Structure formats: structure tokens, C-alpha cells
Amino acid sequence: MFLHEAAVDEFKDRLELIKKSFTSIAVVSGYPDWWRMAFPDALHVSDDEILTLEEGSCDLVLHAMCLHWANDPVGQMIQVRRALRPDGAFLGIFPGGQTLNELRISLAQAESDIRGGLSPRIVPMGEIRELGALLQRAGFALPVADSVPLKTSYASPLHLMRELRFMGEANVLSRRARHFCRRDLLIRACEIYASEFKDGADRIRATFDLIVLTGWSPDESQPKPLRPGSASSRLADVLGTTENPLKD
């Protein structure tokens, strides 16, 4: 559960930077019992398609390590926004970006070599720009998306796969193959991984990107962007430099 432990630390660090007290907190996760240890006073709800959150009942919702499994991530965020009071905060964290890029490449190459085709084995990972746009589509104000890269290493690709399974991050894609992975395919993938993604003499590296989404339920008290052209001073004057107009 080391990814969940990293997510807890990230949530707590970011909440300390917010100059606001939260009294009605909800945590959405696939492991309510585990996350209850980190946030014992919060309401813990399962990451179902329909979240059991009452409208306007929370001033903070943490979506913890499960948005990447949602069939409708925008729908999940819309439900969270409706559950928030005006000026309530949403923080979501989940794997994205380059997460498991090494494993994806190794499995794809092995399957192409042996079977001449590919099957879905690792869930598609969203990029920061796309995910930030989802916050806007869900109606959040002041949207921010950033990432926390984590570099790890394992004794072998099999150790990595075993830990992913223990963490509940195995393949659950609806179009996945419905049979056990062939032994020759698994061996070939491990060979490619160990050859291409070494971390020292006898270990392999694995990349995880934790994407963090932050947004606020709209409220009149929040800062608003100025109208274009309404600035009262020139940027060049503030920077103490000379402005050079571009040619048409």
C-alpha cells in the first residue's frame, strides 16, 4: 500500500498549506477501512458509480486513489462538486502520466513478438493537461492539476506485478483477456523489462506519477480573473525591461 501511504502524506501536506479549517470531510476510496486510519473523523464512502454523498453536505472531499478506475471520471467529480458547500475544496489523487510506462512497454513488446498483436493490460493513464480540463468540465473554480513523480525499484518484474496485485491494481479492464497469461509471454516480458529498464546491477526501475487535482466549489467570495485589457500598468515597466513589438 505504499502508493496509498504516499497519497496520504501528499493530502496532509497540501491541507496544511490551505488557510482554512474544514469541519465536514468526506473521503472517497476503494479502501474505506485503510483510509479511516489516516482520516478518522471523516465520512468514508466507497468509490461506487453513484457516490453516497448528500448535496451540500461537505466542505472538503478527498478522492483517494480511485479516480483512474472510474468509468465516468467527470461524473464522479460532478457528484463531488454537488456534495460540496460553496467555497468547499476538492482534492483528488490517483496514478496517471508515466505510471508503469516500463511495464506497459515490456508487455506490449512481448505480446507483439509472440502473438503478433496486443491486448489491453494496463489502464490508460491521463495526462495533466487533459485532467485539468476535466476539472473545468465538472464546474470547479480555480482548477489546478500537478503531478508527484515517484521512482521505485524492484528485484524483478514479477515482484512489481505481485505488489500491484496485492494493492488491488491488477487488470480489471472490461476488454481484457479472460484467460491466464501464457508462461512464454510472461517470461519474454520479464526479459525485455530487465534488459531495457535496469536500476543498478540486479534491479529494475518502475515509474509512478501521482496526479493531484485541486478545485473549489464556486462562490462569490473567490478571486476572479480580470477582464483582458484592464491592466493599469505594463509588464515591461514592472520587469524593468524594454518592450520590443513583434512584426506583423
Report which of residues 166 and 177 the model is more confident about: 166
Scan for cell 513523480, then name that residue.
Answer: 149
Q: Are 117 and 111 in contact (CB under 8 A)?
A: yes
| pLDDT of 168 strictly over 90 | no
Q: What's the pTM?
A: 0.79
What mean pLDDT do residues 213-231 have?
77
**Residue 47 has which C-alpha cell?**
468509490
The sign of the CA dihedral 133, 134, 137, 142 is negative
Taking only the tens place, the pLDDT of each residue in 60-107 is 999 999 888 888 889 999 999 999 999 999 999 998 888 888 888 888
| 230-241: average pLDDT | 77
Of 26-35, 81-90, 168-177, 207-216, least confident by mean pLDDT is 168-177
| Of residues 116, 206, 115, the one with CA closest to residue 161 | 206
Residue 89: the pLDDT is 93
Q: Which domains does the chain have, with CATH numbers?
A: 2-218 (3.40.50.150)
Pairwise CA distance, residues 119 & 108, whole Å: 8
Q: Report the range of poorest mean pLDDT among 15-24, 31-40, 116-125, 130-139.
A: 116-125
